[in-house]
Chain A
Amino acid sequence: MTRTIYVCICAVLLTASSWIVGCHKPPSVSVDTQANTETARDGAKYLLSTEPADAKGVIDVRKDVKDADAVVVVGRIGGSKEPFVKGRTAFTIVDQSLAACSDVEGDNCETPWDYCCVRKEDLARASVAIKIVDGQGKTLTHDAKDFLGIEPLQTVVVQGRAKRDADGNLTVLAEGIYIRAKPR
């Protein structure tokens, strides 16, 4: 009986070892990982090492700025459950005067950057779209999160040009982005 058990255990271990050796592949740098590294390096050229001066809040910029004006705007990344546009180097920022869900005591919202506690009208008035475009005016097709290394609720100062449409909607075509460190 004992001999039988030992033989069975050995057979199982042998089978398991063969499976592990045969099926396990050594980790290699995937194409995606390499692409991400290159993307991040390209995105670094849009990041500023010092904060641009005279940054204005989103609400003020929306009121005062005209089409093609140079603009420096400060805000927190957010405004919806997904503030980053998928497959585009574009995202929205919200005026710092608005409180995100994480700023509200006792609020355990899983996506505090969606500002769901704020009225829709107030949120629309205090948000602006930021995007990085190429020479032809087309938005770059890298995900802004990986490209620029930014996260929701980070405070960013964006330097660029204003673009107003016929309905008065403002988009900032970013030339440089400064990420403010979190206050300690």
Chain B
Amino acid sequence: MIGIRVLPWEYGVRNLFRRPLRSLLTLVGLTLSVLLVFVVVGYIRGLEASLAVSGDPRVVIVHALGSSENLEISSVPNRTPALLSASLEGIERWQGTSLASGELYLGTLVAVKKGAPSFGLVRGVTPTALLVRRQVQILEGHYPGPGEVMVGRLAATKLGRSRAALALGEVATFEGRDWRISGIFAARGSTLESELWCPLDELQQAMKRQDLTIVALALSPGASFGDVDEFCKERLDLELEATPETTYYASLNEHYQPVRALAWLIAALVACAGVFTGLNTMYGAVVGRVRELATLQALGYGRSAIALALIQEATLLAATGSLLASLLALLTLNNIAVRFTMSAFTLRVDSTAVAISAGAGLLLGIIGAIPPAVKAMRLPVVEGLKAV
């Protein structure tokens, strides 16, 4: 610093080891505070990432008029995929198959391994769904045949059961029928991973329904959403509405804004607790070293230098705590699956989470050291030398 004679760097480091138990307890407190911030930030990042990857920019969802905010209540006729394929030129084709996936999507009670049923998400699909939903990859087993179901990687978390309960060969019961688990799929962390997929016609039979919930269309390069939208608005007899899949998931993201706001509030409260931990320690450091600090002033070190040394000690502790918390978070929290209303997702300790949480930890230390540092600067030298 310009014009200030500062104390040696080693002075601050040595002081931390002079009272090892106090320093250790403060370090543990700071590490836990930062770890809690990691949990909350990882939760928010995981939720945002899950919704962000769930929407494919080339996919358009065609659903019943007026059901854009709640697709589960949408009902469209069974012939809608064929009708859309025949009427719209912009739907992508692959080896003669039009990429229009008719799907029956619902939330229903699912029981596994004779346990109590819990709320799960079931989607009745045709093989075309794998062409439309490009992010879906079968990790184990195979696409479901008659009487079979394929489960997402996070379906067990959504149902509140262990992964073993939804392993290959196990049986899930829903809509009054048993379904053998034939495969496990991943979908790049999207909300699809918390679903159970079964053959559409079998699900319709089980539910005694002939309709669909939605038709997911994959647009060919050069085609635009406007083509589908114009068709739906002209064919009012069909009572259809088109929504880009990215728009649908963006609206869900908006819907969860209060949850995210609450999570940030919790993170801020936890951070405040961390500040008080630092404050407590540094006040103790000042009170216990009154004579030492007065001696330093008598030797010619300015009050600013002493305040800086105290801030240095707190910052060292905070930085160490942040590093430890970052390591623990990466090793223990990253990719932990959590259940959430209509889906499940994994905690995400990415670079943004590390920057926010570790940065907050560092800031806690600095802020927690300022009041004691100001107190130290105000100590009269003569009074300090006489202190016991």
Contacts and interface: CB of A to CB of B under 8 A. Distances in A.
Interface of A: 1, 3-4, 7-8, 79-82, 85-88, 90-92, 114, 116, 120-121, 123-124, 127-129, 131, 139, 141, 165, 167-169, 171
Interface residues of B, number: 23
Interface string B199-237: 000000000000000000000000011100110011111
B72 interface: no
B292 to A, nearest CB: 21
A90 B235 contact: no
B65 A139 contact: no
14 contacts: A1-B304, A4-B2, A79-B233, A86-B226, A86-B229, A88-B226, A90-B233, A120-B65, A124-B236, A124-B239, A129-B233, A168-B237, A169-B235, A171-B234
A88 B229 contact: yes
Contacts of A79: 233
Contacts of B66: 80, 114, 116, 120, 123
Given A3-B3, A85-B229, A129-B234, 19 more contacts: A7-B2, A80-B66, A80-B233, A85-B233, A86-B224, A87-B226, A88-B229, A91-B233, A116-B66, A120-B65, A124-B237, A124-B239, A129-B230, A129-B233, A129-B236, A165-B234, A165-B235, A169-B234, A169-B237
A87 B65 contact: no
A124 B65 contact: yes
Contact of A167 (B226, B235, B304): B235
A85 B230 contact: yes
A82 B242 CA distance: 10
Contacts of B303: 1
A46 B1 CA distance: 70
Interface string B118-154: 0000000000000000000000000000000000000
B302 interface: yes
Given A81-B68, A123-B65, A167-B235, A88 B304 contact: no
Contacts of A80: 65-66, 233, 241
A86 B219 CA distance: 15
Interface of B: 1-4, 64-66, 68, 224-226, 229-230, 233-237, 239, 241, 302-304
A141 B229 CA distance: 13
Contacts, number: 72
A24 to B, nearest CB: 26
9 nearest CB pairs, A to B: A87-B226, A88-B226, A85-B229, A129-B234, A129-B233, A124-B236, A4-B3, A85-B230, A86-B226
Nearest to A82: B229
Contact of A86 (B2, B225, B241): B225
A116 to B, nearest CB: 6
Contacts of A124: 65, 236-237, 239
Nearest to B64: A120
Contact of A87 (B4, B225, B302): B225
Contact of B304 (A4, A121, A131): A4
Contacts of B2: 4, 7-8
A131 B226 CA distance: 12
Given A124-B237, A169-B235, A139 B230 contact: yes
